[in-house]
């Protein structure tokens, strides 16, 4: 993958070293605003990226780029992604909104809550799971009264990887 990067902020400076660890990713170009050129120049020099642009259209014409990573503030994502998409590039937007629709039966929800209400779950999915559990308890408390992180009903299944906050979790869910 020949990756062209749009942006030069903190996210980009954190992602480039990660991209460099993947053999199949070649960071071949960076595009930044004119006012960020010095920061962009520092990044291309530090990480050996061969080219830098301050003009998006010229950047997108670079035939070496087959994938575009967009890491700018969200209000500019659409404009950049639209232009890159018109040029038939693969696009990797950063921090874009994704809408997901899922269907669950009660047993699947119970399993989902056991895993995703856990403190060890990724914080965004944990927040969604906790909100879902709250709504399920309002609608069908008899079905979901025994739902929540697995440690509410016994030892933590994470073993040595436990968050170590079983008492706090049980208090949070009213299971003291």
d(CA 135, CA 107): 16
d(CA 29, CA 95): 21
d(CA 151, CA 113): 11
Residue 12 in tokens: 């980009």
Respond yes or no: is residue 116 known to be catalytic.
Answer: yes
Q: What is the CA radius of gyration of the chain?
A: 23
Catalytic residue among 24, 33, 39, 116: 116
Pinpoint the alpha helices (H) of 30-165.
Answer: 37-47, 56-60, 77-86, 106-116, 123-139, 141-144
60 and 82 Cβ atoms separated by less than 8 Å: no
Active site residues: 116
């Amino acid at each position: 993958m020949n990756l062209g990067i749009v942006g030069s902020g903190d996210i980009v400076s954190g992602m480039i070293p990660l991209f460099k660890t993947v053999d199949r990713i070649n960071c071949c170009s960076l595009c930044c605003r004119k006012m960020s050129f010095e920061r962009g120049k520092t990044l291309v020099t530090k990480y050996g990226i061969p080219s830098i642009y301050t003009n998006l259209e010229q950047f997108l014409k670079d035939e070496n780029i087959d994938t575009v990573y967009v890491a700018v503030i969200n209000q500019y994502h659409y404009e950049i992604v639209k232009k890159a998409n018109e040029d038939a590039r693969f696009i990797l937007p950063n921090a874009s909104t994704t809408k997901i629709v899922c269907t669950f039966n009660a047993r699947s929800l119970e399993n989902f809550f056991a895993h995703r209400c856990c403190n060890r779950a990724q914080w965004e999915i944990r927040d969604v799971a906790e909100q879902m559990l709250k709504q399920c308890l309002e609608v069908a408390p008899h079905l979901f009264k025994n739902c929540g992180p697995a440690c509410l009903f016994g030892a933590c299944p994470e073993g040595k990887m436990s968050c170590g906050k079983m008492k706090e979790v049980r208090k949070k869910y009213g299971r003291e």
